[in-house]
Amino acid sequence: MEYFTVIGDDGKKRAYEIILTFHNEQNGKDYVLYTDADPNKSEENGRKIYAGIGNPHESHSLPGMIGTDEEWEMVEEIIQTLREAAERDDLTDSELREHLETLLEERYGF
């Protein structure tokens, strides 16, 4: 598991767990899917997943906002794939990663 920490406007540190990072060669952007590192912040139907642009390890801040509908469609499809895989519970991490890489290549060409 990878984590990053951000200091909020209130001066408090907040830790986040990185779920997935990927690079879109078509637009040159890095994307990150992440969630609160504290499992007590889970919602009733599971942990909330955030998405953004950038590498939080490089900027030491929250990833930037996703700007286009096309980007959101891509990210939402990936999140849905992750949720479906979690429900199946029969894929190993490497199989899930391979499945996501195939999805990105077939649907988005990267």
Q: How many residues does the chain have?
A: 110
Supply the pLDDT for residue 21: 86
Supply the pLDDT for residue 69: 93
Domain ranges of the chain: 2-108
Locus of tokens 């994307």: 31
Supply the pLDDT for residue 52: 92
Q: What are the helix (H) ranges across the chain?
A: 56-59, 69-88, 93-108
Supply the pLDDT for residue 53: 92
Average pLDDT by consecutive 10-residue portion of the chain (110 residues)?
85 89 86 85 70 78 86 88 75 75 74
Supply the pLDDT for residue 59: 63
